[in-house]
Amino acid sequence: MNTENLHYFEKAPIAKAVAHFAVPMMLGTSMGVIYSILNALFLGTLNNTAMLTALALTLPLFAVLMALGNLVGVGSSAFISRLLGEKNTDEVRHVSSFAFYSSIVLGLITMAACLPLIGTIVHALGATPESFGYTKEYVTIMLIGSPILILFFTLESIVRAEGAAMTSMIGMLLSMAVNIVLDALVIFVFHWDVIGVASATVISNLVACVYYACHILTKSQFLTISIRQFKATRNILGNVFKIGVPVFVMSVFMGAMSLIFNRYLAGYGEQAIAGFGISSRLLQFPELILMGLSEGVVPLIAFSYTANKLRMKHTIQFTIKVIGALAAVFGVIVYLSSDHLIGLFTNDPQFIEMGSYILHVTFLSLFITGMTSLFIGIFQATAQGTAAFIMSVIQGLTLIPVLYIANRMSGFHGVIWSLVISDIAAFLVGAVMLYVLRNKLQPEVGAVGI
């Protein structure tokens, strides 16, 4: 960790420190939305619906691989930032080496366990006879590349934990740029269709992994990927996985909940599914901006938790204000232009009306979801494993009964509003837990200001 990064951790004004850590993460997460759209556009030029279906069907697999990367990466990064606040640099080296090699091993285990079951996995993803072959090709490449994909998410997290937020963002943007270039080559030059697009994803992540590894080897003062520093002590395993496991569970759980939600929505026709699909894509951009903000400040909160709790308190207060301001700006834009936004995708007046309604309802909870993300980040940063685990499952557990009751009582409207109700429930649970833990998170009596 260089002097500049240490300055942002310890002495920079709160607004500057939050911007330093959060803005690169916000840009990185939002660019991911653009990348996913471009990826589909390149494959869409082949005018083959089965290929696009295969691309959509493999999203849950990619989400699981990302969850496995976060299992190690998020838990390790929060622990690393707390150790830096304690000035325990020797343990930082052990944790970073553990994160690097355990991610590779986890990827190899995933590949070895899943490749023999490739047919079963493709069927479970919902492949049709027309898309089965393309889906199998994509899944095969993704599983072969799973050690690289899991390592990418881990390295991005631990680099950010040291305060190198710009390096973290550059790695994400580098992966996106390489992927776009390779997509163009494999589609228009080599004509490799689905296999080419999947291979481009793996290769672009490999390039980013090499970039992160070079940063650790040449510029990082404390992080290391040396096998000699590898340790898997009870302390390391406990601190990494008590935060990493809830993150993993949340990713898998929410994926399962989305499948259940879509089944309810399917009962109201294709327009309902398509309208929600478009609305959720439009909502994804501001949600990822707020999520990037909440995830971006986790290293700063974790460092301050062990080094200066008063600074941590001010960081959280400032972040809440930014979440409120961003949610208000996005909300005004949506409520003034929802019909025009939905109209970018269709000319059907009924479709526009339904999509606009869904957009209005789901945007009501934007501030709440932003705050819920911040609660989760606070629990991760401060090693509150039980609270983090509760937050990882509460929204899904709430959604199931709410969906059933709301659907019975209000039909389509109930299904849509169930999302808002479950968001509110998760927010209230997080707020209560934060209140209960307030004494543990309070600045010490007599703590100096920032």
Cβ–Cβ < 8 Å for 197, 179: no
Q: Both tokens of residue 343?
A: 């109209």
Q: What does the alpha-carbon distance between residue 146 and residue 69 come to, in Å, rounded to a whole number?
A: 10
Q: What does the alpha-carbon distance between residue 327 and residue 152 come to, in Å, rounded to a whole number?
A: 30
Cβ–Cβ < 8 Å for 209, 155: yes
Angle at 449 between CA 445 and CA 450, to 5 degrees: 140
- pLDDT above 90: percentage of residues in the chain: 31
Helix axes 14-44, 3-10, angle to 10 degrees: 110
Mean pLDDT of the chain: 84
Q: What does the alpha-carbon distance between residue 312 and residue 309 come to, in Å, rounded to a whole number?
A: 5
Where is average pLDDT lowest: 206-210, 270-274, 437-441? 270-274
Q: What does the alpha-carbon distance between residue 326 and residue 210 come to, in Å, rounded to a whole number?
A: 34
Span 1-27, average pLDDT: 81
- Per-residue H/E/C for 31-69: HHHHHHHHHHHHHHCCCCHHHHHHHHHCHHHHHHHHHHH
Cβ–Cβ < 8 Å for 280, 59: no
Q: What does the alpha-carbon distance between residue 103 and residue 212 come to, in Å, rounded to a whole number?
A: 14
Q: Both tokens of residue 437?
A: 């833990």
Q: What does the alpha-carbon distance between residue 39 and residue 180 come to, in Å, rounded to a whole number?
A: 7
Cα–Cα nearest to 290, from 371, 367, 370: 370
Cβ–Cβ < 8 Å for 415, 406: yes
Q: What does the alpha-carbon distance between residue 111 and residue 211 come to, in Å, rounded to a whole number?
A: 24
pLDDT over threshold 90, residue 97:
yes
Q: CB count, 10 Å around CB of 398?
A: 20
Where is average pLDDT lowest: 1-5, 154-158, 245-249, 434-438? 1-5
Alpha carbon separation from 437 to 18, 242, 379, 431 (Å, rounded): 23, 17, 10, 10
Model confidence pLDDT, tens digit, residues 15-48: 999 988 888 878 776 766 666 666 667 776 777 7
Alpha carbon separation from 427 to 14, 117, 371 (Å, rounded): 25, 39, 7
Phi, psi of 220 (to 5 degrees): -80, 135
Q: What does the alpha-carbon distance between residue 86 and residue 302 come to, in Å, rounded to a whole number?
A: 10
- Confidence at residue 33, expressed as pLDDT on a 0 to 100 scale: 66
Q: What does the alpha-carbon distance between residue 440 and residue 381 come to, in Å, rounded to a whole number?
A: 13
Side-chain half-sphere exposure of 235, counting CA atoms within 13 A? 8
Residue 52 one-letter amino acid: L
- Confidence at residue 37, expressed as pLDDT on a 0 to 100 scale: 65
pLDDT over threshold 90, residue 228:
yes
The answer to pTM > 0.85 is no
Model confidence pLDDT, tens digit, residues 298-347: 888 988 998 888 899 999 999 999 999 999 999 888 888 888 877 776 67
Model confidence pLDDT, tens digit, residues 398-433: 888 888 898 889 888 898 898 889 889 989 999 999
The domain segmentation of the chain, as residue ranges, is: 1-232, 244-450
Residue 329: alpha-carbon gap to chain centroid: 22
Span 165-174, average pLDDT: 88
Q: What does the alpha-carbon distance between residue 14 and residue 11 come to, in Å, rounded to a whole number?
A: 8
